[in-house]
């Protein structure tokens, strides 16, 4: 778990970067959208970010024990398009190659199968602070999680998911930035609902079970 610890330290250091780093140069300012003569809206500016990191969590609780996705590395790509000053539409694909194990109380862990956990998402990014080269942002996206066992006797499955994130971009030049981000993917495994009516009126209930993961990632953003 040393990798997770060092990635966490890196995220904290950049989020609270020193004023000296934030004031170096003027990088990060050219991307500010400007109105176009034809539409009056902002010019579109694209960013692409290959990312690598560490992902953990994803416990599914059952009566017999816990099904657990083991911590492992992850990689992916994020594509952003500027739609307004400080706001971007975001598409992302993340992939984690992991092992699924079964944990039963007072029993040794039982390996089940290796699997690919991939996220396909669309959402938005909003800057919450900008200081020179340093852009701090929050993200939220919706989409699907695809769980693919690597053994053919198991079938794959698609589940609805959402991801919340907090991170920073540190521009090292006009078109290149270091992106660090901490995220919390939430996959909805199943949902349920019901309605009951009686003398006092009708009542409804909605519930569900989700698997929460966490990750720390880093990548280089290329803007054009």
The residues spanned by each domain of the chain are 2-223
- What pLDDT does 45 receive? 87
The stretch 213-217 carries a mean pLDDT of 96
- SS3 at position 122: strand
The stretch 58-83 carries a mean pLDDT of 91
- Residue 22's pLDDT band (boundaries 50, 70, 90)? very low
- SS3 at position 105: coil
- Residue 70's pLDDT band (boundaries 50, 70, 90)? very high
Residues in the chain: 224
- What pLDDT does 65 receive? 85
For the question of whether the overall pTM of this predicted structure is more than 0.85, the answer is no
- The least confident of 41-50, 120-129, 214-223 is 41-50
- Residue 7's pLDDT band (boundaries 50, 70, 90)? low
The DSSP output letter for 35 is B
* The pLDDT of residue 92 is above 60: yes
- What pLDDT does 153 receive? 82
| CATH number of this structure's domain 2-223, picked from the four choices 2.40.160.20, 3.30.56.10, 3.40.50.1980, 2.60.40.10 | 2.40.160.20
Residue 159 CB contacts under 8 Å (≥ 6 apart), including other chains: 144, 145, 147, 187, 188, 189
Cα 128 to Cα 137: distance, rounded to the nearest angstrom: 5
* The pLDDT of residue 198 is above 70: no
């Amino acid at each position: 778990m040393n990798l997770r610890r060092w990635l966490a330290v890196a995220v904290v250091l950049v989020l609270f970067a020193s004023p000296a780093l934030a004031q170096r140069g003027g990088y990060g300012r050219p991307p500010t959208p400007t109105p176009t003569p034809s539409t009056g809206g902002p010019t579109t500016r694209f960013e692409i970010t290959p990312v690598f990191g560490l992902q953990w969590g994803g416990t599914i609780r059952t009566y017999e024990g816990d099904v657990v996705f083991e911590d492992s590395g992850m990689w992916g790509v994020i594509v952003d398009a500027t739609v307004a000053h400080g706001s971007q539409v975001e598409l992302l694909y993340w992939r984690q190659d992991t092992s699924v194990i079964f944990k039963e109380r007072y029993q040794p862990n039982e390996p089940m199968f290796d699997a690919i956990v991939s996220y396909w998402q669309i959402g938005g990014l909003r800057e919450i602070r900008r200081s020179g080269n340093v852009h701090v942002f929050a993200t939220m996206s919706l989409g699907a999680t695809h769980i693919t066992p690597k053994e053919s006797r198991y079938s794959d499955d698609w589940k609805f998911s959402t991801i919340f994130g907090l991170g920073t971009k540190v521009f090292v030049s006009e078109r290149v930035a270091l992106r660090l981000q901490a995220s919390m993917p939430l996959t909805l495994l199943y949902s349920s609902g019901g309605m009951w009516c009686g003398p006092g009126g009708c009542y409804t209930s909605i519930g569900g079970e989700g698997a929460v993961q966490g990750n720390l990632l880093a990548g280089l953003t290329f803007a054009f």
